[in-house]
Amino acid sequence: MAPDDSQAKRRYELLEPDRHVQTESLRQRMAELSADSELGRFETMLEEWSQSEWAHYGNPVSAMVETVTDQIKGAMADLGADPARLATVHVGTTLADDVSAQMQPFSDGSGLVTVADSIFSLMTVFAGYAGSALHRVGDGPAPKKLWRLLVAMRRGALGEDPAVLTGLLRYYNVNQRVYGLAAKLDRRSGAGAEQVASLIALLGAQFVIGHEVAHHVLGHDSGPSGFFPGEHLPVCSAEQQPELDADLLAYRAVVRVSEREMAGTPAASAGGVFALLGALVAMVTIHVTERALFVRRGCTHPPAGVRADLLVERVDQRSQQFVRLLFRNLLAAAEDSSEFGPGARVFDGDDFGKLAEISTPVSPEYLRSITAFDLFLCRPPDFLAGELGRIAEEDGAGFLATGGEAMAAGDLATALRLWGVDDGTAALVLDPRRALTFHSLLEAVRDGVLRQGVPKDRARTVAMIIARLTEVSLKDADR
Ligand SMILES: [Zn+2]
């Protein structure tokens, strides 16, 4: 933990999420969706938590992050990192939607690691798939195990067809884009597989935090941010060497934590293979988040495939083959689920509602509404522009169409003003140094058009069209 008066610690005090407010809004959201059984489970979990030995941490997320941070720092000290340097980095979580995982250096030498809650949440989806695949291979007598492995290799992939995984990720991505919600559907996979999955998710959390702490330990720096005095830009970037160095140190630290603290679990005895699976799950999670949810990434990481290659080489030959097979499916699902536009694999709510292995807290209508949103978001820009013109005419809202023309002419600033977006918000949207998520863009436009008199029941559709057109135009400009 960084000293209380460090710049990093003081900055985090401004960012720290209010967990009581968050709990309340989750309750409200579940009530809106009439997810009674889900709400019941949630209340039971909170009740059990408040009676547990961890209750003094205040909430489950902080407990996990603080415990993992201590483990990672201890492991890095074992690996020779300077304890004085380790003492100046603070790790916390954020609900801000423009962060995936990052480390910001400050001019007093302190560092602040922030990881979005949603990263930990999404990681469990990938870990669930990896856990099932691993459990299936590991279950049963040895000849059967070998046979399964051979079949998997023959098919060129390990585990089941990743279509279900792709669907789960797609559902999550569309909910994030449209509502800014980390909504998930659960997969029933049995107690054994779930245990393996939880272990992989925990190792993934260690890797994410380890990667960011590693940037601080390795002294990676960046330019001043210009928003707060003494604050620098986050260090993660598409520049490969520092990222791969941070990955390697993080991986070694996760292996070390397993040796020290996870005696009796597969992680302690599998010679780094479990740590590697945790790292790969972490990488694809960041990959999906940055591809699907960000219009402009600001701080970014190299593609998951590039990062994975380096670490896979750290384990023995036989394990490499096995891990590569599994990773191929994880990456395919990550890529398919985060592609929006014509030809994308749209979420099929009807199909998903019928799958016996999926448990859903929401109604079939809600699942179908996500399919409808997804289809809409994948329409070609011409279609969307036409739709905007049609709504403008129908509602007598000419400013919608004039804005569309300004954007088509490359003048996004004028377009945003016409759509009612205030100057301050427009400046954030247009600033190429700032990260921008699809959802925050959508909300900015929705606020604007509501102010301009677009009726509430139309505003989300209008905002979705405009946000998608803006996304395409900003991404084209980046190329
Ligand atoms: Zn990084």
- What separation in Å is there between the alpha carbon of 246 and the centre of ligand 1? 6
* Spans of the chain below 50 pLDDT: none
CA distances from 436 to 20, 99, 115, 440, 471 (A): 27, 9, 16, 7, 10
- What separation in Å is there between the alpha carbon of 370 and the centre of ligand 1? 33
- What separation in Å is there between the alpha carbon of 180 and the centre of ligand 1? 24
- What separation in Å is there between the alpha carbon of 211 and the centre of ligand 1? 6
- What separation in Å is there between the alpha carbon of 115 and the centre of ligand 1? 12
- What separation in Å is there between the alpha carbon of 28 and the centre of ligand 1? 36
| Of 379, 402, 337, 367, nearest in space to 468 by CA | 379
- What separation in Å is there between the alpha carbon of 36 and the centre of ligand 1? 40
pLDDT in tens, 8-29: 999 998 888 888 887 888 788 7
Could you tell me where the DSSP H helices lie in 139-180? 142-154, 163-179
Among all chains, which residue has been given the structure tokens 């002419």?
409
- What separation in Å is there between the alpha carbon of 215 and the centre of ligand 1? 7
pLDDT of residue 140: 53
What is d(CA 479, CA 124) in angstroms, rounded to the nearest whole number?
Answer: 33
- What separation in Å is there between the alpha carbon of 263 and the centre of ligand 1? 29
- What separation in Å is there between the alpha carbon of 91 and the centre of ligand 1? 14
- What separation in Å is there between the alpha carbon of 320 and the centre of ligand 1? 24
Q: Structural domain boundaries of the chain?
A: 7-359, 380-478
- What separation in Å is there between the alpha carbon of 219 and the centre of ligand 1? 12
Spell out the residues 6+ positions from residue 296 whose beta carbon is closer than 8 angstroms to its own: 432, 434, 435, 436, 474, 478
- What separation in Å is there between the alpha carbon of 421 and the centre of ligand 1? 33
Partnered with residue 114 across adjacent β-strands are 92, 102
pLDDT of residue 178: 92
Among all chains, which residue has been given the structure tokens 């890797």?
207
- What separation in Å is there between the alpha carbon of 301 and the centre of ligand 1? 6
Are β-strands 436-437 and 358-359 bridged in parallel, bridged antiparallel, or unpaired? Answer: unpaired
What is d(CA 110, CA 87) in angstroms, rounded to the nearest whole number?
Answer: 9
- What separation in Å is there between the alpha carbon of 281 and the centre of ligand 1? 15
What is d(CA 443, CA 107) in angstroms, rounded to the nearest whole number?
Answer: 34
- What separation in Å is there between the alpha carbon of 269 and the centre of ligand 1? 28
Token pair for 207? 């890797």
For residue 245, the SS3 value is helix
DSSP count for the chain of H helices, then E strands: 22, 7
- What separation in Å is there between the alpha carbon of 12 and the centre of ligand 1? 19
- What separation in Å is there between the alpha carbon of 244 and the centre of ligand 1? 8
Spell out the residues 6+ positions from residue 132 whose beta carbon is closer than 8 angstroms to its own: 159, 160, 187, 189, 193, 196, 197
- What separation in Å is there between the alpha carbon of 198 and the centre of ligand 1? 24
What is d(CA 17, CA 234) in angstroms, rounded to the nearest whole number?
Answer: 19
- What separation in Å is there between the alpha carbon of 205 and the centre of ligand 1? 14
Backbone angles phi, psi at 255, to 5 degrees: -60, -40
- What separation in Å is there between the alpha carbon of 220 and the centre of ligand 1? 9
- What separation in Å is there between the alpha carbon of 237 and the centre of ligand 1? 6
Token pair for 387? 């739709």
- What separation in Å is there between the alpha carbon of 297 and the centre of ligand 1? 13
pLDDT of residue 152: 63
- What separation in Å is there between the alpha carbon of 213 and the centre of ligand 1? 9
Neighbours of 318 (CB within 10 A): 10
Task: Output the CA torsion 251→261→67→30 (10° steps).
Answer: 90
pLDDT of residue 34: 67
Do 209 and 69 contact (CB within 8 A), yes or no? Answer: yes
Do 326 and 133 contact (CB within 8 A), yes or no? Answer: yes
What is d(CA 188, CA 202) in angstroms, rounded to the nearest whole number?
Answer: 19
- What separation in Å is there between the alpha carbon of 358 and the centre of ligand 1? 34
- What separation in Å is there between the alpha carbon of 236 and the centre of ligand 1? 4
Do 361 and 37 contact (CB within 8 A), yes or no? Answer: yes
Token pair for 130? 């990896």
For residue 181, the SS3 value is coil
- What separation in Å is there between the alpha carbon of 420 and the centre of ligand 1? 37
- What separation in Å is there between the alpha carbon of 119 and the centre of ligand 1? 15
What is the SS3 assignment for 303-372?
CHHHHHHHHHCCCCHHHHHHHHHHHHHHHHHHHHHCCCCCCCCCCCHHHHHHCCCEECCCCHHHHHHHHH
pLDDT of residue 226: 64
Among all chains, which residue has been given the structure tokens 């998930």?
184
